[in-house]
Structure 1
Amino acid sequence: MIEVSTVEDVVCVKGGQSLQVYLFLVDGMLVDTCSQNMQQDLIPFYQSSTIESVVLTHSHEDHVGTAAWLEKNKNVPIYIHPTSIEFCSKPITYHMYRQIYWGIREPFAAEPLPDSIHSNHYVWKIIETPGHADDHVVLLNEETGQLFSGDLFLTPKPKVIMSHESVPKIMDSIRSVLTYDFQSMFCCHAGHVPDGKRLLHMKLDYLENVCGEILHLHQQGYSISEIKNQLFPKDLPIISVSEGQFDSEHIVRSVVTEMG
């Protein structure tokens, strides 16, 4: 079942079971669409809501899962990073654990995100923030100081990342976002984060410290596996569940490969 709440004129819709995920509706603009296996629970919310546009922070299935339904039934424009338009228009299969957690999204037609986008009363700056995904963006309302952060934040002290992610790029993206004036952050997995800028600073500090430790151990001749065992000795359940697609070792590898 979904839970609906309103904070700072933003409607926050939370779903998911073991892994929670959010979508947000603000000023007629829907930010992300959750996962396909939440669709039946979301349909009544969609039917009762005024939605005039949809903006997707990136193309992962827990963010675009009900975009096809919205395209067919709400007839609204759907925007995503230009590089993902073709990808979203085609069927795709996922690892079994991703199918279990999120379902399989259907193909949908999207339009390229411009540099800024208008909701009913506001202008939202689109900031490219690669690292978690090459097509990742965040949305900033410079008038209200609100940031829709997609998966840029997630947690201030990440212990695992996916195999395709890049810690150095994530840090660069956070640095870019921190040059702007905002406070309140809406994260697609943490929900509303009222002191968002402080917590993004905290995540950047944590990653910079981790990078320093990784590079120090790498210069001493330790292997990626050995560094992982020293810095991240605990094997979290997501590592085995995802068959290694999520792993602490990917943090180490991305730092050594890109910064070593």
Structure 2
Amino acid sequence: MRVCKRYEFDHGIKGFTLGWSLAGPPLMAVFFYVFDRVMIDTGQSRMAGESLAIARRHRVDRVFLTHHHEDHSGNGALIHNALGAEIFGHGLTREKLKKPYKILPYQHYVWGTTTPVEVSPLPEFLETSLGRMIPIHTPGHSLDHLVYYLPEKGVVFSGDLYLGDRIRYFRADEDMGTQIDSLKKVLALDFHMLLCSHNPRESRGREHLQTKLNFLETLYGSTIELWKKGVPEKEIFKTLGLKEDYFIKYFCCGNVSLINGVRSAVRHYEACRKQN
């Protein structure tokens, strides 16, 4: 099944959600956004034809990546080669996309691979028809993660910083403590529209982001409180009453699970403790 839906947001911003599966509804669809010949992320290579057609229809000449993950960067090379669009991203994104990188079988199935592409460095701010757009480094979900902020319109393109008010699973390489810091950084901004790559919030975006921060801070604090008492990670998971989605965990080869959140909190705490 192939899914391609279009959404209209304020200020002429268009959102497109793409999803793919062999049969039945896609496991995880992904949004990208277009305005003023600008594209925020590109969608997954499993939906290359749809992504390129949308970029061509809107005469996209600049693509801004939130991070290197294949559901965000998957069609960057295609759009660059077909339309001559310049691809921008964080310096770490540029290094990651210089050559092919390994992904797990579930990532191949759900999204497909990313073709290497030259990524241009980002200026301090970008001029658009909606005013200045400011890239802000927000690591935690990935080291290279960015959000893009339109202060004049109160819009944040948040990539994978938000995802939901409560998080049901974490990638093995996520850093919860760093993500908490990134959430606080974005919450210091003045905005109302949160255009997430999987769960956009057209209104009350700041409140939704605050709810996620509250959730993560509670989970982090509860985890570390038990860890300091010598409780092992698996027992922390049980004590906190957390429930694992075993289908997701095993389908993703353990790379995505809720216990990864407990491990991430402990890893961040121990790293900070050693630094001090």
Q: Contact (CA 8 Å) 2:130, 2:152: kept in 1 or not?
A: no
Match of 2:267 in 1: 257
1:130-162: CA deviation from partner (whole Å, max 9, x where unpaired): 000000010111100011000000011112111
Match of 1:13 in 2: 16
Q: Contact (CA 8 Å) 1:4, 1:11: kept in 2 or not?
A: yes
Greater alpha carbon shift after TM alignment, 1-10 vs 119-128: 119-128
Q: Does 1:67 align with 2:107?
A: no
Aligned residue-pair number: 260
Amino acid at match of 2:8: T
Deviation at 1:235, TM superposition (A): 2.2
SS in 1 for 2:80: helix
1:186-235: CA deviation from partner (whole Å, max 9, x where unpaired): 00001344211000100111111111211221122210111122335422
In structure 2, runs of 5+ residues without a counterpart are 20-25, 271-276
Amino acid at match of 1:173: S
In structure 1, runs of 5+ residues without a counterpart are none
Identity %: 28
SS in 2 for 1:2: strand
Runs of 4 or more, structure 1, over 3 Å off, are none
Matches within 5 A, 1:86-125: 86-125=95-134
Pair 78,232 (structure 1): closer, same or farther in 2 beyond 3 Å: farther
SS in 1 for 2:216: helix
Q: Contact (CA 8 Å) 1:28, 1:120: kept in 2 or not?
A: no
Greater alpha carbon shift after TM alignment, 41-50 vs 216-225: 41-50
Match of 1:196 in 2: 205
Match of 2:274 in 1: none
Q: Contact (CA 8 Å) 1:117, 1:125: kept in 2 or not?
A: yes
Deviation at 1:82, TM superposition (A): 1.1
Match of 2:23 in 1: none
Greater alpha carbon shift after TM alignment, 94-103 vs 250-259: 250-259
Q: Contact (CA 8 Å) 1:58, 1:136: kept in 2 or not?
A: yes
CA distance, structure 2, for counterparts of residue 209 and residue 184 of structure 1: 25
CA distance, structure 2, for counterparts of residue 249 and residue 55 of structure 1: 32
CA distance, structure 1, for counterparts of residue 228 and residue 49 of structure 2: 52
Q: Contact (CA 8 Å) 1:159, 1:232: kept in 2 or not?
A: no
Match of 2:251 in 1: 241
CA distance, structure 2, for counterparts of residue 201 and residue 233 of structure 1: 21
CA distance, structure 2, for counterparts of residue 231 and residue 41 of structure 1: 43
Amino acid at match of 2:86: P
Matches within 5 A, 1:1-260: 1-8=3-10, 9-16=12-19, 17-231=26-240, 233-236=242-245, 237-259=247-269
Q: What CA RMSD, in Å, does the superposition of the two structures yield over aligned residues?
A: 1.4
CA distance, structure 2, for counterparts of residue 245 and residue 201 of structure 1: 26
SS in 2 for 1:70: helix
SS in 2 for 1:143: coil
Q: Contact (CA 8 Å) 2:42, 2:51: kept in 1 or not?
A: no
Greater alpha carbon shift after TM alignment, 88-97 vs 164-173: 88-97
Greater alpha carbon shift after TM alignment, 47-56 vs 130-139: 47-56
CA distance, structure 2, for counterparts of residue 232 and residue 160 of structure 1: 14
